Structure 1
Amino acid sequence: MCARVGDIMTTDVVAVERTTTLESVARQMLGREIGSVVVTSEQTPYGIVTESDVVSAVYHSGRPIDEIPTGRVASHPLVTIEPGQSTRLAVKRLQDERIKKLVVVDDLEVKGIITTQDLIDHYGNLTAELKSIREQRQREPSWPRR
């Protein structure tokens, strides 16, 4: 069986309302040593803000960071995946969308986040699992079909 997103996702996700200032978001990112924050609108997943989004917003807006609402900077709409989906599908979604992070949701509730780094960190386990599946299939008898 192929590894599932829920098996390797990071479950400690920081979420903030879209009215939160970018200064607060930057403070949380630095304090928790994380690279992104999920943005919600009335507790429903709305978007995501990354470190580079923060830097870009401050540079381009010319406004103080404490005056920039996070909702204006967030990548929206949010690209999501369910925890039961395969890691293979996660890789495809990341490639197709040209992004580095997928928010994992179940019925609009944030359950975690899976990043390209998570997939790299688990690459050895994932390839070993695939190798084991292939070997098992090769050992299974192939019955002649009529």
Structure 2
Amino acid sequence: MPNLVRDVMTADPATVSPRTTLLEAARLMREADIGEVPVVEGRRLVGILTDRDLVVRGIAPDLDVHEVPVSRVCSTDVVSVAPDDPLEQAVAQMRDRAVRRLPVVDDNAVVGVITIGDLAMAKEPGSLLAEISNAVPNV
């Protein structure tokens, strides 16, 4: 059974720069079938952009998705975990911060992402959440 973040994380995640437009980020998320994307300068984590950020902070207030950079709507107070952290630490971070996804950072560089679905599949493979997380997307 996996015990460390590195055992269940998605390595080398898609990322965007703070200057990426909302539209470019949304298209990347659609193409990669992801609900969040780390915002990085170089490989250093500076924020996180979720599909909810795009809708609530970008589209709903009628920002110009062709021009507005993700830095205007992403969260910058981001919690992360390291690849060698125990899975229980990722669970605690998600619970304490009420988030479903965490960037995985090693030596100040984003090296992965771990989601609540990843944790469900690792810890409770027969659970309803694991089954949903493992389902083929209906894009």
Q: Same fold (TM over 0.5)?
A: yes
- Asked if the contact 2:59–2:65 (Cα under 8 Å) also holds between the matched residues in 1, the reply is no
- Asked if the contact 1:2–1:86 (Cα under 8 Å) also holds between the matched residues in 2, the reply is no
Partner of 2:7: helix, strand, or coil? helix
Aligned residues, how many?
A: 125
**Percent of aligned pairs with the same amino acid:** 34
Do structure 1's residue 88 and structure 2's residue 88 form an aligned pair? yes
Aligned-residue CA RMSD in angstroms?
1.7
Runs of 4+ in 1 over 4 A off after TM superposition: none
- More helix per residue: 1 or 2? 1
Structure 1 residues without counterparts, runs of 5 or longer: 126-146
What's the CA shift string for 1:65-91, capped at 9, x where partnerless? 112210111111221111111001110
Partner of 1:58: helix, strand, or coil? helix
Partner of 1:52: helix, strand, or coil? helix
| Structure 2 match to 1:33 | 33
| Structure 1 match to 2:8 | 8
Structure 2 residues without counterparts, runs of 5 or longer: 126-139
Whole-Å separation in 2 of the counterparts to 1:2 and 1:26: 32
Partner of 2:124: helix, strand, or coil? helix
Quickly say closer, same or farther: Cα 1:2–1:28, change in 2 above 3 A: closer
Give the TM-score taking structure 1 as reference length. 0.79
CA apart distance, 1:59: 3.4
Return the index of the structure with the highest Cα Rg: 1
Partner of 2:104: helix, strand, or coil? strand
